[in-house]
Chain A
C-alpha cells in the first residue's frame, strides 16, 4: 500500500513536471521569431544577424527568420523594429546609427524606443595613412593639422557618418577645430581606403578591420586604434593614447534589441539565449573569420552603452555643426 502510494506520488510529481514543463514551453516561444535587419542582404550586419538567427533557432527550437528591411539609410528598418508588437516574436539588429540619426534630424527615433537585449559586436575606428606617408604616429598628424588647418583631408564615410565623427571627436578631444581636417565624404570605407592608397586623401578613420586587406597588401599603415585597449587580432596597432593622441574612443557596434515595452521574462529569456549564442564556438569562429570585433554586454550594460554613445555622438555632431 505504502509502495503504491509513493508510486502514485512519484507519478503525480512526474506528471506535474511534464505538465508544467509543457506549459512553460507553451509560454514563449511557441511560434516563429522574426529578426529584422535594417541593412541589405550580404552586408556585415546581415551576415551577423543571420548567424545569430541560425544558432538561436537551434537553441529555442522554433524557426528564427531574418527579414531585411532596408532603405532610408537605416531609418526604415529601425522604425520597423521599434513599432513592432512587443511580444518577443519580432526583434531586430540595432546598429550604431541609432545614436546618430536623431541628432541630425533624420528621424525622431532614438535608443529609448527599444528594449535592450544584448550588445554583441563593436569595431573600433582606426587611423590609417598610406604606407609611404611621412607620418609615423598620431601626434605628428595632430601637429600637422594644427600648423596647417584645412590642408590635410580625411575620409571614410558620408558627411556626419560614424567614421567622420571618429575623426572629428579625436580632433575636438585634442583641442583642435573639428574642421581643421576637412572631411571628404565617401560611399563607405572601401572607396575611401582605395582613394587613400591612390594618394587622393591623407587620413582615413574607418575601422581597423575594414583597413585589413590593404594593410596586409602593404598599401596602408594603421597608426592607431580608437579604443582603450589594443585589439587581439591586431596586436601591432597601438591605442590612440599610445600613439600620442587623446583618450578618445569610437566604435561601430551592433546590438540585439526589441521594441519598447518587451515583457521582462521575454527580455531575460532572449538575453540568456543570445548569451549562449555569443559563447558558442560556431559564433566565435564566424566572427573571428570575418574579422568582426567581439564585445559583450547584457541588457543592463547595453542600456548604459546606449546612453553613453548617444551623448558622445551628440557632443561631436554639435561641434562639427551637423546637429539640428
Chain B
C-alpha cells in the first residue's frame, strides 16, 4: 500500500498546520518570552519543510511512471485486507470488552479467531487458543501479579 510521496507530503503539511494551530493557547513560562509552544512549532516547521520536499519528489515520481497509490499483492487480494481487519478488529474488541467480559473469554475469542483465519483448522485452533490464553493468564496473573480482569468469571473465583 504505497502512496505517492506527494500525497504523504500533503498530509504532513496539513498535519503541521493543524498541530501548529493547536499551540496558540499554550502558555509561556512565567518570566520568559517563550514557552510550551516553542518546541512543537519548530517541529511543525520541520514537518512542513519535509512535506514540501516529499511533494517535489512525488511530482518527479509521477512524471516518470509512478501511480498515486501503488497496491502490493496483499492489498489487491481479498484475503490480505480481511486478515488485517480481523487482527486489528481483535485488538479493538479486546480494548472494548475485556474489562466487562474478563481476560480469559476475550483473549480466547481474539486468539481463536485470528488462528482460525490464518490456519483454517477448527479443533486445533480452538485448542491452541484455549491453551495459550490459560498459560498467559497463569504467568501474568499468578507469577507477575498483573491484575488481569476476571469479568464474568468473577463470581466463580471469589
For A67, what are the chain B residues with a Cβ–Cβ distance below 8 Å?
A: 147
A65 to B157, CA, bound (A): 15
Contact of A150 among B31, B145, B147 (CB under 8 A): B31
Q: Would you call B147 and A320 a contact (CB within 8 A)?
A: no
A154-166 interface mask toward B, CB cutoff 8 Å, 1 = contact, 0 = none?
A: 0000010000000
A271 to B158, CA, bound (A): 25
A11-35 interface mask toward B, CB cutoff 8 Å, 1 = contact, 0 = none?
A: 0000000000000000000011010
For B145, what are the chain A residues with a Cβ–Cβ distance below 8 Å?
A: 65
A135 to B158, CA, bound (A): 61
Q: A31-B158, A32-B158 are in contact. Are A65 and B30 (CB under 8 A)?
A: no
A28-57 interface mask toward B, CB cutoff 8 Å, 1 = contact, 0 = none?
A: 000110100000000000000000000000
For A65, what are the chain B residues with a Cβ–Cβ distance below 8 Å?
A: 145, 147
Residue ID in chain A nearest B32 by CB atoms: A182
CB distance from A169 to the nearest CB of B (A): 15
CB distance from A17 to the nearest CB of B (A): 28
How many residue-residue contacts, CB under 8 A, span A and B?
16
CB distance from B134 to the nearest CB of A (A): 21
Q: Would you call B147 and A321 a contact (CB within 8 A)?
A: no
For B158, what are the chain A residues with a Cβ–Cβ distance below 8 Å?
A: 31-32
The size bracket of the interface on B is under 10
Contact of B30 among A31, A32, A179 (CB under 8 A): A179
Residue ID in chain B nearest A67 by CB atoms: B147
A71 to B158, CA, bound (A): 29
A321 to B31, CA, bound (A): 11
Q: A31-B158, A67-B147 are in contact. Are A159 and B29 (CB under 8 A)?
A: yes
- In chain B between 63 and 113, which residues have their CB closer than 8 angstroms to a CB of chain A? none
Q: Would you call A320 and B30 a contact (CB within 8 A)?
A: yes
B120-158 interface mask toward A, CB cutoff 8 Å, 1 = contact, 0 = none?
A: 000000000000000000000000010100000000001
Q: Would you call B30 and A182 a contact (CB within 8 A)?
A: yes
Q: Would you call A182 and B147 a contact (CB within 8 A)?
A: no
A320 to B27, CA, bound (A): 13
- In chain B between 29 and 47, which residues have their CB closer than 8 angstroms to a CB of chain A? 29-31
A150 to B145, CA, bound (A): 49
A322 to B36, CA, bound (A): 14
Residue ID in chain B nearest A159 by CB atoms: B29
The CB with the most chain A CB atoms within 10 A, among B29, B30, B145, B158, is that of B30
Contact of B31 among A32, A34, A179, A322 (CB under 8 A): A179
CB distance from A154 to the nearest CB of B (A): 12
A321 to B28, CA, bound (A): 11
For B31, what are the chain A residues with a Cβ–Cβ distance below 8 Å?
A: 150, 179, 182
Residue ID in chain A nearest B154 by CB atoms: A31
A59-91 interface mask toward B, CB cutoff 8 Å, 1 = contact, 0 = none?
A: 000000101000000000000000000000000
For B147, what are the chain A residues with a Cβ–Cβ distance below 8 Å?
A: 34, 65, 67
Residue ID in chain B nearest A150 by CB atoms: B31
For B30, what are the chain A residues with a Cβ–Cβ distance below 8 Å?
A: 179, 182-183, 320-322
Residue ID in chain B nearest A66 by CB atoms: B145
Residue ID in chain B nearest A149 by CB atoms: B31
CB distance from B114 to the nearest CB of A (A): 28
A139 to B73, CA, bound (A): 76
CB distance from B25 to the nearest CB of A (A): 12
Could you name 6 residue pairs across A and B whose Cβ atoms are closer than 8 Å?
A31-B158, A34-B147, A150-B31, A159-B29, A182-B30, A183-B30
Closest 6 CB pairs of A and B: A31-B158, A67-B147, A179-B31, A182-B31, A179-B30, A321-B30
A interface with B by C-beta (< 8 Å): 31-32, 34, 65, 67, 150, 159, 179, 182-183, 320-322
14 new A-B contacts at CB < 8 Å, known A32-B158, A67-B147: A31-B158, A34-B147, A65-B145, A65-B147, A150-B31, A159-B29, A179-B30, A179-B31, A182-B30, A182-B31, A183-B30, A320-B30, A321-B30, A322-B30
